[in-house]
């Protein structure tokens, strides 16, 4: 194991075993240099990585402290539906229900920074896994970000794949909630109108402008999100 990893591992396992309580002072860089017989750059890297992982907090002129652990955040991967299905060896299909230009509704116009009623692209697709509907994707697209959205061949790529190609995602925010499907969504997903759904609403920014707003509706009985954190 590389020296910086040895130092990092030593500190990590010490934190794990409660050798340093949250908020307490940890060894300084020069302490660790002496203890491990390595150069300061090496312990510095170990400490910086622990800081990036949220395990320690460092204050210039003061020292390094064991972090409060409940500030942890977890990773949740958001993948393209096609990849999600095919990566598990299942058959993927998408039905494009609607693909056209429309007048921007007020909410969409606001997020895109354009006038209400200005032309925007609107698509509605259903994603299937082995013939079972798994996701209903209701999407608005800013024409300036993807001018040829309407003429793309969506039998070859999903809206997510196409948009990632023409406008790489540089920031996105989303919400996850439980809600009832609309009547139309229930029909498209072939579920009862009273079945709870997992609804993800996502807004994506590329090169400073909003690219797309999307509402992803999943039948609660067929889809769940998984995640983990490991500090």
The CB-of-201 to its own copies minimum distance in angstroms stands at 9
The CA angle 110-73-174, to the nearest 5 degrees, is 20
Work out whether 157 is an interface residue with its own copies (CB under 8 A).
Answer: no
CA–CA dist 205, 209 (Å, integer)? 5
Work out whether 35 is an interface residue with DNA (CB under 7 A).
Answer: no
Residue 172, C-beta contacts closer than 8 angstroms, at least 6 positions apart: 202, 203, 204, 205
- From 13, 19, 35, 41, residue interacting with DNA (rule: CB under 7 A): 41
Beta strands in 78-208 (DSSP E): 92-103, 119-129, 132-141, 171-179, 197-206
Q: Which residue has the tokens 């919400």?
A: 175
CA–CA dist 157, 155 (Å, integer)? 6
The CB-of-11 to DNA minimum distance in angstroms stands at 11
The CB-of-77 to its own copies minimum distance in angstroms stands at 4
Work out whether 229 is an interface residue with its own copies (CB under 8 A).
Answer: yes
Binding residues among 80-119 for its own copies as defined by CB under 8 A: 80, 83
Q: Point out which residues bind DNA (CB under 7 A).
A: 2-5, 26, 28-31, 37-42, 44-45, 47-48, 51, 58-64
Contacts with its own copies by CB under 8 A lie at 15-18, 22, 41, 52, 69-80, 83, 160-161, 164, 168-180, 194, 196-199, 207, 218, 220, 223-231
């Amino acid at each position: 194991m590389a020296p910086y990893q040895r130092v990092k591992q030593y500190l990590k396992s010490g934190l794990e075993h409660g050798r340093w309580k949250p908020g307490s002072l940890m060894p300084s860089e020069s302490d660790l240099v002496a203890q491990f017989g390595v150069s300061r750059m090496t312990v510095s890297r170990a400490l910086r990585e622990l800081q990036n992982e949220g395990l320690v907090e460092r204050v210039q002129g003061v020292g390094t402290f064991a972090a409060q652990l409940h500030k942890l955040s977890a990773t949740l991967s958001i993948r393209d539906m096609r990849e999600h299905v095919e990566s598990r060896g299942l058959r993927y299909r998408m039905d494009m229900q609607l693909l056209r230009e429309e007048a921007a509704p007020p909410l969409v116009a606001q997020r895109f920074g354009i006038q209400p009623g200005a032309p925007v692209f609107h698509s509605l697709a259903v994603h299937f896994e082995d013939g079972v509907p798994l996701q209903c994707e209701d999407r608005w697209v800013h024409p300036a970000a993807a001018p040829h959205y309407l003429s793309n061949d969506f039998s070859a790529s999903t809206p997510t794949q196409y948009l990632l190609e023409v406008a790489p995602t540089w920031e996105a925010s989303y919400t996850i909630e439980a809600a009832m499907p609309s009547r139309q969504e229930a029909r498209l997903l072939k579920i009862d109108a009273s079945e709870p759904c997992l609804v993800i609403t996502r807004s994506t920014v590329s090169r400073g402008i909003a690219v797309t707003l999307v509402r992803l509706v999943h039948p609660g009985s067929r889809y769940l999100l998984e995640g983990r954190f490991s500090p």
